[in-house]
Amino acid sequence: MPVQVEDLVEAPQLCLVDTGSTANRFGAWLAEATGVDLSGAPETTLNIGGVTTLARHARAELTIASMRYDAPVSFCDPWPFAFNLLGLEGFLRFFRVTLCAAEDWLEVEPERST
Amino acid sequence: MAPFTISGQQFQLERAEVERCLVNVLPDPVHEHYVVVRGRRFPPKQVLSCVTGLDRADFTTHQARRILKRLGFVAARAHREEVSDRRAETDTRDGKGSQETRQADALRPYLGQWVALAGPTEVLVAADRPEEVLAWLARHERRATYGMFRVPASAVEAEGGAPT
């Protein structure tokens, strides 16, 4: 799913909806590219997909399905994956997601309460 | 080494030199004509300007094409790809599997690189670092309508290390 990070309109980032992830996990380069300040951000070492990475926790404005919202994001370095992850706290609690793997589609609708 | 006269100046050019010149250069957007240099599509004028140091206004696209073709580079028009991209989006007879195959084929040359897509198979730019892709998009005021991502070079990069 393409996600606009902050004001990076010209380059929506490809993200994977990960129902098993508690938070959004993005490559750290995105924080620098979009001007998200990570200085003093709390850090955690995480193991994701077989990779140990340093996650710095911050907030970023994301735009998905025409809805812009303020989301918690863990910016990770290293991040060797081809995609970023959309998880529970920073994504699924804001949207209602219907997916059909058999037909290869996914529908996203903002929650009415958000 | 072949001699060419461009804008009243003499140049000795060879294919290998052109390829060397463009190793660290990202292709500008292709509007109509392009030449293929080491698997990447460049506007002919960008290539010739890069190699000769001449301003792009000093020669025409057709001159650049002619010279680069004489050096053995493939030159073509871009509109065929756009047509095929539109077909990929709308043609339901072939089914989704066929569209995915076309996309995989289009992305295969960019394994491990960051790409920005304007269509399912239309790669606007590819680079080793995401910052280079963003800079290119900003410089050329282009938008990656189909998203920006790194083309996975392995199954682990595509799927992570989760058990299957």
Taking a C-beta distance cutoff of 8 angstroms, is the pair A94, A67 a contact? yes
pLDDT > 90? residue B88 = no
Select from B148, B154, B164 the residue whose CB has the most chain A CBs within 10 Å, as the one to mutate to test that interface.
B148
State which of B33, B49, B77 marks the end of a domain: B77
B58 and B107 within one domain: no
B109 and B64 within one domain: no
Residue written as token pair 């030159």: B75
B108 and B57 within one domain: no
Give the pLDDT confidence score for residue B90 in this predicted structure. 52
B109 and B65 within one domain: no
Q: B80 — contact with chain A (CB < 8 Å)?
A: no
For residues B72 and B38, give the distance between their C-alpha atoms in angstroms, rounded to a whole number. 12
| Domain contains B83 | no
| Domain contains B9 | no
Pairing outcome for strands A43-48 and B40-42: unpaired
Give the pLDDT confidence score for residue B1 in this predicted structure. 78
| Domain contains B164 | no
What range does the domain containing B58 cover? 18-77
Give the pLDDT confidence score for residue B164 in this predicted structure. 46
Q: B128 — contact with chain A (CB < 8 Å)?
A: no
Taking a C-beta distance cutoff of 8 angstroms, is the pair B117, B146 a contact? yes
| Domain contains B82 | no
Domain ranges for chain A, please list them: 2-110
Give the pLDDT confidence score for residue A48 in this predicted structure. 87
Strand residues in B9-159 grouped as ranges (E)? 9-13, 33-37, 40-42, 74-77, 114-119, 122-127, 148-150
The number of domains in chain B is 2
pTM score, whole prediction:
0.73
Q: Over the stretch A42-63, which tens digit does the pLDDT of each residue have?
A: 999 999 888 899 999 999 999 9
Residue range A2-110, CATH number = 2.40.70.10
B102 and B73 within one domain: no
The closest CB to that of A9, out of B96, B143, B146, belongs to: B143
